[in-house]
Amino acid sequence: MRGRSYVAFVFCPAVPILDWLEEIDATLARSPGFFVGKPVVLDLSAVDLSQAAIAHLIENLEQRNIRILGIEGVDAARLTSNMPPLLTGGRACVLAVNEPKKVESKPKTTSLLLDGQVRSGQSVVFPDGDVTVVGSVASGAEIVAGGSIHVYGTLRGRAMAGVNGNSAARIYCQKIEAELLAIDGYFKTAEEIDAISCDRPAQVWLEGDIVQITPLN
């Protein structure tokens, strides 16, 4: 003779049984297959059920794909021969529940750093947020950003900020010699910028539907 012990789930139905079954349903809805392949024992000590009621409960659980290994906490006379056997001597133990681990999703990057010059012919498109350029943006280059654009050199190319309809986006640069400045679709071309011609740090922002250029500090 050899013995082996298994850890089993113990169901403790409570009245009203219908509400209790709904709870089981809710668990199954969250994680279908939660009880698949796991031994389940029915503890009926908290309720007083007739033989017919016990049979009905077992049937209900089987409909949910939960098979009962054994029953405890009930008088043997209430069980029929085609019901799971009566169990005694169960000991309580702690179950390590393997909750499915939450996938730790990195927060989406909301800025793009370009460490150097952006050369003529290069096009940088970053619809997810701000673009920072540590260097100059050459004539013939373009930066397209969903958020603001920061240029720590001279902006000689095209800069388009807030392309996804973000009218609060701005363009900052050390020096403006831009070919085109745009925020949320409103733009100024080089000709219009020249009239203002800033030879010092400046910011570009949207006031209503007018692109404004004002010096910083």
Partner 1 sequence: MAKVLVVTSGKGGVGKTTSTAALGATLAQMGEKVVVVDFDVGLRNLDLILGAERRVVFDFINVVQGIANLSQALIRDKRVENLWLLPASQTRDKDALTEEGVAKVIGELRTKFDWILCDSPAGIERGAMLAMRYADEAVIVTNPEISSVRDSDRIIGMLDSKTVRAEQGERVEKHLLITRFDTARAARGEMLSIEDILDILATPLLGIIPESQDVLRASNVGSPVTLNDATSAPARAYIDAARRLTGETVAMMVPSARKGLMDRLLGRRAA
* Site for partner 1, rule CB under 8 A: 117, 119-122, 135-136, 138-141, 154, 156
In this structure, are residues 71 and 88 in contact, taking their beta carbons and an 8 Å threshold?
A: no
CB of 110 to partner 1, least distance (A): 25
CB of 126 to partner 1, least distance (A): 17
Residue placing its CB nearer to partner 1 in the complex, 118 or 213: 118
Alpha helices per DSSP H over the chain: 17-30, 51-63, 190-196
Residues in the chain: 217
CB of 138 to partner 1, least distance (A): 5
CB of 137 to partner 1, least distance (A): 10
Residue placing its CB nearer to partner 1 in the complex, 51 or 189: 189
Q: Cβ contacts of residue 152 below 8 Å, gap of 6+?
A: 132, 133, 134, 135, 173, 174
Instruction: Provide the token pair at 197.
Output: 């011609």
Q: Which residues, listed in sequence order, are joined to residue 43 by a DSSP beta bridge? A: 72
Longest pairwise C-alpha distance within the chain: 101
Residue placing its CB nearer to partner 1 in the complex, 129 or 140: 140
Residue placing its CB nearer to partner 1 in the complex, 122 or 212: 122
